[in-house]
Every structure is written in C-alpha cells, then in structure tokens.
Amino acid sequence: MRVLGIESSCDETGVAVYDTEQGLLAHQLFSQVKMHAEYGGVVPELASRDHIRRVVPLTRAALKDAGLNMEDLDGIAYTSGPGLIGALMTGAAIGRSLAWGLGIPAVAVHHMEGHLLAPMLEENPPELPFVALLVSGGHTLLIDVPKLGEYTVLGESVDDAAGEAFDKTAKLLGLDYPGGPLLAKLAEQGDPAAYRFPRPMIDRPGCDFSFSGLKTFSRNTWDKSTKTDADKANIARAFEDAVVDTLFIKCRRALEQSGRKTLVVAGGVGANKRLRERLQTLKAEVFFPRLEFCTDNGAMIAYAGALRLAAGACEEPVIQPRPRWPLTELETI
C-alpha cells in the first residue's frame, strides 16, 4: 500500500510517500523558519498561507522522486491535530480533497503519534512494548506504549514544553527563532561549572515535568550577570544541562515504574546532541529517529497513516482538524 503523507500543523510543510512493502520512497520538506524569525515566533496566519503555497508543489516533487503518479497512490494521510487550526485546515482540506478526487481512503493522523512512530522508519526499529519520550515545541510527554495506538500518559509537563522553554530562554539570550538548536550550539562554549540550575520536580513522585521555572531562573541569572558573551554561553549551558538531566531522571523513573526495557525518543528536542548522549547511558535500549525526522516532517505522517490504513481505518469524508487532541483518545491499530 502506497500512502502520501502531508504534515502542516505548524511551521513546516512536509510531504512524503511511504510504501508498506518498500518503506519510505520519498520525502520533501519546506521550513518556514526564515519567514517567522523576523517576528520572533510563528505567526499562525502567515503559516497557513504558506502551507497553501507549498503543499501541491511538494506533493508533485515527492511523487516525482518516488517515480509515481497520483494514480499509483492507495491512500492519503494528513496531520489533523494537534496544531494551529489554519495550518491544519490546509493539509486536511488538500489531503481529503485529493483522496476524494482519486477515489482512495484518507486518514486523519495525530501529529504526536507521527513523532512517536518516527523511529520505526530507521533500519533498526524498536520493538513493542516501549516507553516513549515525546519532546517537542508544544509537548513534553512520557507515554507507555504496550501496543500501537494504545497510549497511557506516564507524565507530562504541567506548564511549558521542553522545546518551548528552550525557545523562550534562547529569546532571552538574544538568539533567533527557533532558539532551541541555537541555544544548544551556544551551550557548547559554556563552562558547565559556572552555574547550577535546579532540576524541577525531581523530588516529587511520578513523571511530570515543569520547565517554566527554568526560564525564569535563566532570566534572573542573566539580570544579575555582567551580561558578557561568556555569561550568555554559561547560562545556555546551565539551562541545557538542567533540562537534559531532568529528562534523563524522569525517563529512568518511567522505565523503572513501567518495567519496560526500551525507550523511544522523538520530537524536535530529540535532536539535541547532549540529550541523545545522556539518554544512551540509561540501562535500556534507546531509539531515536535520524535528526531530520526528529523535527516535523511528512515521513512520520505517511508512516503512521499507512499503518492505520493498512489496518483498515475507514473514516467519514469530513475535514475536521483538532487543534487540541489528546493522544490517549486514539484507537489501537
């Protein structure tokens, strides 16, 4: 079964073709980062308008790369939530219409299920059951996954997502949007002994997170500093160390409490080098997507949709994106 996947939930347009027998055939991505950088964050209306411009050319390019025509497709998968409503509407409307026109089924994919399944696209995919750490700009979740589609939340952020905290702290340090990768780069020059930031909520039972305090801690430290470039790098390093350490401690706890032996890490912050290195030291098998599939992409949506369509997913032909959509509401595949 050949499935076209369309991702348009935020500021990246991704289109890919996944074949259930041959694997990933092609993927195309356009990032709107430059457009939003000017405003210091994603402008939803600009995002929607740009998705409209990109989806069709990217679809043509992906099909060309895969050596396929529209008629060779057996299904369409599109991100239906969570995300920005206008941005989601674009992918959903184009995906549904295309499927309608071609007389093939379409499936609404949960963006976080896409992230969670992204490591399955690698050569050595994880085996179920596992615990998943989903760390993106909008979510920080620890999920127990006994079966595909069956998700139990073990812990989540009670305030800012890890990626959001990276972006806000980066902004405070004068870095461009999205600041996560830039802050990580700056942290490389920082002295790890200069400051020690707290590890929020590690003394409380359970696997919940809180990252908004770290952002405030960064601001207070910056305000009290002499505001040199070295101070900036030292704060970036202390912040990154605190986030990485906290995520590590909670992952270790989630594995212990669930008795699982495998950890899957996904989402934009999963591209963080120091986090990847630290999580590899856990007494568990740890799986990550390749770097380009940590952040938003069409491949993960094509893959998640292909699994659901191959399992017989049959949906009403309605365009109904969900800006908020709990992962726990999904049906087992």
**Residues 166-185 within binding reach of ligand KG4 (CB under 6 A):** 166-167, 178-181, 184
Rg (CA), the chain: 20
Give the integer Cα–Cα distance in Å for 254 and 279.
13
**Residues 10-29 within binding reach of ligand KG4 (CB under 6 A):** 10
If phi over 0 gives left and psi between -120 and 50 gives alpha, with beta otherwise, what is residue 40?
Answer: left
**Residues 294-313 within binding reach of Zn ion (CB under 5 A):** 296
Give the integer Cα–Cα distance in Å for 315 and 296.
24
User: Least separation, in Å, of the C-beta of 286 and Zn ion?
Assistant: 20
User: Least separation, in Å, of the C-beta of 35 and ligand KG4?
Assistant: 16
Task: Tell whether residue 136 is a contact of Zn ion (CB under 5 A).
Answer: yes
**DSSP E strands, the chain:** 2-7, 12-19, 23-31, 75-81, 106-110, 130-135, 140-147, 150-156, 262-266, 285-287
User: Least separation, in Å, of the C-beta of 191 and ligand KG4?
Assistant: 19
Count of chain residues binding ligand KG4 (CB under 6 A): 19
Task: Tell whether residue 160 is a contact of ligand KG4 (CB under 6 A).
Answer: no
Task: Tell whether residue 75 is a contact of ligand KG4 (CB under 6 A).
Answer: no
Give the integer Cα–Cα distance in Å for 49 and 325.
23
Give the integer Cα–Cα distance in Å for 150 and 82.
17
**Residues 220-279 within binding reach of ligand KG4 (CB under 6 A):** 267-269, 271-272
Which residues of this chain interact with ligand KG4, rule CB under 6 A?
10, 136-138, 163, 166-167, 178-181, 184, 267-269, 271-272, 295-296
